[in-house]
Amino acid sequence: MDLRSDTVTKPTQGMRQAMANADVGDDVYGEDPTVIALEATAARLLGHEAALFCVTGSMANLLGVWLNTPVGGEVLCDERAHIVRAELGAHAAYHGVTSRTWSSPDGVARLSQIAAMVSEASPHLVPTRAIEIENTMNFASGVIQPLDEVRLISGFCHDRGLGLHLDGARLANACVATGVPLADYGRLATTVTLCLSKGLGAPMGSILASSGANIARARVERKRLGGGWRQAGVLAAAGLYALDHHYNRLSQDHRAASAMGEEIRARAPWAIAAGVATNIVVVRTGSLSAAEVVSRAGGQGLKLSAVGSHEVRAVAHLDVTYDDCVEAGRILGAILSGARP
């Protein structure tokens, strides 16, 4: 059982057939009909004027933050945000963007905390140009950002002239879990991403959505970064298939992850700091190191990710069953039952 991430899924037979039958052209020339269709569909779903198909979520985030934050400006985000923890410093290295972070024990972004951090332009302080939030919050057990709080943050950004970037790598999970349409979150942000290669099960690709003018700029910068691609319709077809066939089934992953969490909690009640909101279970390992837990679980056929020195992560996805996740919870719970909190 490979629960390291929901990125490990293989294309289904139906998705492979859609890819094989895709109508393609040269996307750098803007001539790939399947890419065009995917971008139009994604823009509509996310409540924006236009969208851009990118190779990865990291590239889509890199472009989104860049659109909001000029060289020398700062973006504010959670200290566990993917853009500062898992994108290898790309925003600073390529676009001259600095970052400052807040700490939220539960991973929920709150305006009351964020507003106090904003810096105006001055000869002394780096000016805040954008705020970034992540939905769901990967390293906070897939917690969902409440729509009402995102509305408050969006209104604040509008009033203060700040950009708002929404890293929606697993936004589909948040929306399936809450019943909130993608556009209700998406239109609140200046720029928003949606990953197709996580729970939705495409082999690669993420969407960046924004205004038409912003996406035109991002298309040029994507090429500058080496992200222009040719007959990408083969991959876009997988994304369209994922949106059509794998969106609603995300609720199955949520149920499986919740059951896994309950099995762990039954054996090591201290190991899970928060409830399981979507498809991610982040587990504290107590007196055992994360590396040791990963090794011991691997010896029993269970692959996990170490996401800290004493934290591991398990992620439910379409290539594992409910019963697989229950068994994974039993294995991990048994390992942790002998550890000290």
- 121-166 pLDDT, tens per residue? 889 999 999 999 999 999 999 999 999 999 999 999 999 999 999 9
Per residue in 184-231, pLDDT (tens digit) is: 999 999 999 999 999 999 999 999 999 999 999 999 999 999 999 999
Burial of 64: CB neighbours in 10 Å, binned 0-12, 13-18, 19+ = buried
- DSSP H helices in 73-170: 82-85, 90-95, 111-114, 147-160
Residue ranges of the chain that CATH labels 3.40.640.10: 13-245
| 3-class SS of residue 294 | helix
Topology annotation, domain 13-245: Aspartate Aminotransferase; domain 2 (3.40.640)
Q: Rounded to whole angstroms, how far apart are CA atoms 140 and 64?
A: 22
pLDDT of 134 reads 98
Of 2.102.10.10, 3.90.1150.10, 3.30.70.3450, 3.90.1640.30, the CATH number of 250-337 is 3.90.1150.10
Q: Whole-model pTM?
A: 0.97
For the residues 86-106, what does the mean pLDDT come to? 97
Residue ranges of the chain that CATH labels 3.90.1150.10: 250-337
Q: Rounded to whole angstroms, how far apart are CA atoms 341 and 319?
A: 32
Per residue in 237-246, pLDDT (tens digit) is: 999 999 999 9
Closest CA to 50 of 167, 191, 222: 191
For the residues 175-187, what does the mean pLDDT come to? 98
Give every CB contact of residue 233 below 8 A, 6+ residues apart in sequence.
Answer: 22, 23, 24, 25, 27, 32, 33, 34, 35
For the residues 28-46, what does the mean pLDDT come to? 98
